[in-house]
Amino acid sequence: MTYNILIVDDHLVVREGLKFMIETNENFQVIGEAENGVETLKLLESLTPDVILMDLNMPKMSGLETMMELKERNIDIPVVILTTYNEDELMISGLELGAKGYLLKDTGRDHLFRTIESAVRGETLLQPEIVERVFSSRRKRYSEQDTSTENTLLSEKERIVLQAIARGYRSKEIAGDMGISERTVKAHLTNIYNKLGVNSRSQAVAIAVERGIVQL
């Protein structure tokens, strides 16, 4: 099966570089390109990509504004954010909006493919070094506060599952490591979502790391 990718970035060289790498894999094809969110929404009137690779900083309509508009319109297409090393706060906002992962613009081909494949499956792939950098300052702030209530909010098994999710493991891998079924892993995730008041893995990780519930 071939999966369709939409690339959204205001820099032609970035779009061309990603397109070249993507099309070396027979499982993926680029079906469209856009320079900003306005063009993206227009293209989505006629295209149905399986994954959108989205830049954060763009003219006319940014990546975050575009993601919010997609939610408003109930357009449920996985978004992987294209980012650089100086966009920490924007990355946090992207996680909170349900981004399925992040790609540095100079990422390698193998990681590009793994991230897209995870997004297609509806899973979130987060690079530990990026998450660590994004949340280090916020985690420090929370560590100075009383987080005992938050740390006891989740059961021990739920914390183990969430810790594994934060490190980029998939449900099948977590099930194998813990000696439980994937169904049980998913049940733990449902409980985690309910307790943290979120509805996605990325949001759960964002809150848990920020509050010091799990460590990287």
pLDDT tens-place string over residues 71-107:
878 888 999 888 776 566 666 677 667 777 777 777 8
Euclidean distance between CA atoms 216 and 214, whole angstroms: 7
Range of the domain at 112: 3-125
Check whether residue 115 and residue 8 sit in a common domain. Answer: yes
Strands 79-83 and 102-104: parallel
Q: Do residues 79 and 56 make contact, with C-beta atoms less than 8 angstroms apart?
A: no
Check whether residue 101 and residue 158 sit in a common domain. Answer: no
Euclidean distance between CA atoms 164 and 174, whole angstroms: 7
> Please, how many CA atoms are within 13 Å of residue 49, restricted to the half-sphere of its CB?
27
pLDDT band at 147 (very low <50, low <70, confident <90, very high): very low
Check whether residue 74 and residue 41 sit in a common domain. Answer: yes
CATH code where residue 182 lies: 1.10.10.10
DSSP 196: H
- 141, pLDDT greater than 90: no
Check whether residue 166 and residue 119 sit in a common domain. Answer: no
Check whether residue 186 and residue 116 sit in a common domain. Answer: no
Check whether residue 151 and residue 182 sit in a common domain. Answer: yes
The contacts of residue 84 (CB under 8 Å, 6+ apart) are 104, 105
pLDDT band at 129 (very low <50, low <70, confident <90, very high): low
- Name the least confident of 44-53, 88-97, 170-179: 88-97
73 φ, ψ (degrees, to nearest 5)? -90, 5
CATH code where residue 44 lies: 3.40.50.2300
- 150, pLDDT greater than 60: no
pLDDT value at residue 136: 59
pLDDT band at 146 (very low <50, low <70, confident <90, very high): very low
Euclidean distance between CA atoms 80 and 7, whole angstroms: 10
